[in-house]
Amino acid sequence: MIACGAIAREVLAVMEANGLSHVDLTCLPAILHNAPQKITPAVEAAIAEARAGGASRIFIAYADCGTGGLLDALCEREGVERIAGPHCYSFFSGNDRFADEGDAHLTTFWLTDFLARQFDAFVAKPLKLDRYPEMRDMLFGRYERVVYIAQEDDPELDAAAAAIARRLGLAYQRRSVGYGDLPAALLAATARRAS
């Protein structure tokens, strides 16, 4: 399994809870999300490395994640599957529910547990908000709300997510979604691969 580092904690939890210790896991750097054009080449290299190491069955635990369909094209070329969804916010929320909400996504800044923990490293510093807070309105002015889709019930993460919303000047909403579609996707992939 080749996974996005931003969901490594959740993938590991699903694997442990379901006795998937026989599955080899490679996590790519989460920072790739700051340059989505690098995701597909990184996944391609990981597939080649896994095959060189003898892997015959590979599953990609990445959504499209801003690759504009390039990740799907790679998966088709390589004969591998990936988790369904445009990004992790979708499969954590549940892809069907996420699709039903439609245009509300355009004005929503989504946080997962990972981003609630790593907001400064993955958003504030790369966008230079730590040095130029006046850029907030330019970068986030069209957003209306922060939606924190919580994988865990952790008061500290909830407080961090609420603080991020305040920092961005946006309304705050928390949804407890758990792992959404992730467990079913991983279990289905390992079941198909085992048969």
Placement of tokens 């957003």 in the chain: 143
**Rounded distance between C-alpha atoms, residue 31 and residue 53, angstroms:** 25
* More confident site: 138 or 193: 138
List the alpha helices (DSSP H) in the chain.
8-17, 39-52, 70-78, 88-93, 95-101, 113-119, 136-140, 155-168, 182-194
**Rounded distance between C-alpha atoms, residue 155 and residue 63, angstroms:** 27
Cα 76 from chain centroid (whole Å): 21
Q: What is the mean pLDDT of the chain?
A: 93
| Sequence ranges of the domains in the chain | 2-88+181-194, 95-176
Residue 193 banded pLDDT, cuts 50, 70, 90? low
**Rounded distance between C-alpha atoms, residue 190 and residue 182, angstroms:** 12
What is the per-residue pLDDT for 84?
Answer: 92
What is the per-residue pLDDT for 147?
Answer: 95
Q: What is the mean pLDDT of residues 72-91?
A: 94
Q: Are 123 and 115 in contact (CB under 8 A)?
A: yes
pLDDT at 195 over 50: no
Q: For the whole model, what pTM was predicted?
A: 0.90
Q: Which of 105, 113, 116 is nearest to 142 (CA)?
A: 105
57 CB burial (10 A radius; 0-12, 13-18, 19+): middle
How many residues are present in the chain? 195
User: What does the pLDDT look like over 9-32, one tens digit per residue?
Assistant: 999 999 999 999 889 999 999 999
Residue 192 banded pLDDT, cuts 50, 70, 90? low
